[in-house]
Structure 1
Amino acid sequence: MSLIGHLRELRNRIGIALFFVLIGTAVAFWWYEHGLGDFIRAPYCNLPDDLRYNDADGSCGLLVTDVFGGALIRLKISFIAGIVLSAPFWLYQVWGFLTPGLKKNEKRYGLSFVAASTLLFALGAALAYLSLSAGLRLLLSLAGDGVVVALTAQDYIGFVISLLLAFGVSFELPLIAVVLNLIGVLSHSVLSKARRWIYFLTIVFAAFITPTQDPFTMLLMAGPMCVLFEIAIQVARFVDKRRAKREAALGLADLDDDEASPLDAAPSPLDSAPSPLDPAPSPLDAPAHTQN
């Protein structure tokens, strides 16, 4: 395809992806009144009555301080939920645009990477949602007695989204280590020697990235990340062993980085093809067949 053809295909696929996101947003906008809003408010509404705002009838609620606040909150939640709901469709468009330029093994690695990254992000987001109530209880209880806690919808939704994104993105980091090992940039020996530093920096990273800044949420993020990094180290061990066996079979195991590989650099002989200027063979030149 020409450059204009690629740009035209990119435009069409972006348009189709946005169309599916729009449909997902519309579905989520309708779903907001049928369970999605309650699902978002559940970690806050599960808190004790003295740690949350209650209406006159005793029900849980979030405050809206401006005229368009309620509409913007609903649109924001619907848009994020629409992206999640339509992910299989717009990811297919991205994959369809990239696939023609990939080799067979690259397609296989690409599908594995997309599946693993999606699973890890979902795992991190689910763990963050489960930790919301405990983190909110710890943070809001620090206000002490005599203080009425009333969260605005904007602050609470922003807090929830930032926590889900922080956990989801953080769980992708061990996968990056595996990818760097697969392409030969990061070896198992380096990862194994830096294991203590990896665990230490993971805890420091969790302390900075968690929006709640409480030790419970920090450890809830750092613990699974350390487990995932250990899995990544073991995967790197397996990959390096297979790579070493393959290099040993090819006689490349004992070579230095600056030493040329023992490959035959001589050009292979070309098959003699008949020239268009050569005369066509005569039927008389054909070998005679003998009859048995």
Structure 2
Amino acid sequence: MAKEKKNINEMSFLDHLEELRWLLVRSTIAVLIAAVGVFFVSDFIFDKVIFGPTDANFITYRSFCELSQYVGFKDSICVEKLDFVIQNTAMEGQVNIFIWICIAGGFIAAFPYILWELWKFIAPALYPKERKNAQLFIGVASILFFLGVLFGYFIVIPMSVNFFAGFQVSSVVKNEFNIDSYIGLVKTSVLASGLFFEMPIVIYFLTRLGLVTPMFLRKYWKWAVVIILVVAAIVTPPDVVSQIIVTLPMLAIYELSIALSKMVYRKRLKEEQSLQKNG
């Protein structure tokens, strides 16, 4: 193991850049291969997935309606009709959107492989125990990412669509959304939610590096809550139930990040104390 560590340490900066270059090449190829897979099911992707939230019969709207009636809010968050039109105003608009959706879908599908490539890049510099932990984190990070993607798709997008479709400054104005605007909402909501759910993993490593402490996260907890509430208020209709549905998972992710930070921080303190005693 010492020999292996030595070899890693003896790698030049250019050697590391070469490894990083091949990491990016393989990851790009994986995304493109997955994008080809998305291409072959593009009809289903666009009709049922991308434009699914534009249908008032979408599963999220039906679930919210059932929840509203169950908690005694009657039909306060039921969606009976989404009155808007999505149109394309650029000659190349639909072609560009088709390409970008294939690439975005390829990135989502290939995300676990990209994490695997990142792990292979740093694994040679880790000890066997750390490698096992890294493999665990790849699995956990992938699960968190996909949970975030599902959260963005089934929660954030439908609520945003419902809000923007129903908002009017005057009955004279009709909603005719540009397809670029709608697709941008879909991509941003899904990818941003997926990456937001990676917060516990990011906080874990930042705490390991000593850049973040649980005390820091707890100190700014109120600010985090305010930001989360503001985001929830922006992407949801102005009713309590919808805002709670969006807010709770985001708060749970932040609390999980604090818990992981505490665990890592205590372990790091013990390691430092052990080194001081041995020294």
Q: Could you state the TM-score of these two structures normalised by the residue count of structure 1?
A: 0.67
Gaps of 5+ in 1: 54-61, 253-260, 265-292
| Residues 174 and 198 of structure 1, relative CA distance in 2, 3 Å threshold | farther
Aligned residues: 243
Partner amino acid, structure 2, of 1:70: Q
Query: Is the 2:145–2:198 contact (alpha carbons within 8 Å) kept by the matching residues of 1?
Result: yes
Counterpart secondary structure, 1:117: helix
Partner amino acid, structure 1, of 2:199: L
Distance 1:240 1:95 in 2: 23
Distance 2:182 2:226 in 1: 25
Distance 2:22 2:269 in 1: 45
Query: Is the 2:160–2:237 contact (alpha carbons within 8 Å) kept by the matching residues of 1?
Result: yes
Q: 1:52 — aligned with what?
A: 84
Deviation at 1:77, TM superposition (A): 0.5
Query: Which of 1 and 2 has higher RCO (CA within 8 Å, sep 6+)?
Result: 2
1:89 paired with 2:113, answer yes
Distance 2:14 2:268 in 1: 41
1:18-52 CA deviation, whole Å, 9 max, x = no partner? 22222111111221113444211010123644512
Query: Is the 1:128–1:163 contact (alpha carbons within 8 Å) kept by the matching residues of 2?
Result: yes
Counterpart secondary structure, 2:88: coil
Q: 2:186 — aligned with what?
A: 160
Q: Which is richer in helix?
A: 2
Deviation at 1:221, TM superposition (A): 3.7
Q: 2:75 — aligned with what?
A: none
Distance 2:26 2:263 in 1: 40
1:49-98 CA deviation, whole Å, 9 max, x = no partner? 45123xxxxxxxx3111211111111110110011222333433332232
Q: 1:286 — aligned with what?
A: none
Gaps of 5+ in 2: 1-10, 57-78
Counterpart secondary structure, 1:16: helix
Distance 1:179 1:9 in 2: 22
Q: 2:36 — aligned with what?
A: 26
1:222 paired with 2:222, answer no
Partner amino acid, structure 2, of 1:108: K
Aligned with 2:134 (options 98, 110, 130): 110
Distance 1:115 1:188 in 2: 24
Partner amino acid, structure 2, of 1:66: A
1:138 paired with 2:170, answer no
| Residues 129 and 12 of structure 1, relative CA distance in 2, 3 Å threshold | closer
1:201 paired with 2:221, answer no
Partner amino acid, structure 1, of 2:253: L
Partner amino acid, structure 1, of 2:96: L
1:11 paired with 2:21, answer yes
Distance 2:186 2:177 in 1: 12
| Residues 84 and 221 of structure 1, relative CA distance in 2, 3 Å threshold | same
Query: Is the 1:45–1:52 contact (alpha carbons within 8 Å) kept by the matching residues of 2?
Result: no
Deviation at 1:128, TM superposition (A): 1.9
Distance 2:114 2:202 in 1: 23
Q: Could you state the TM-score of these two structures normalised by the residue count of structure 2?
A: 0.70
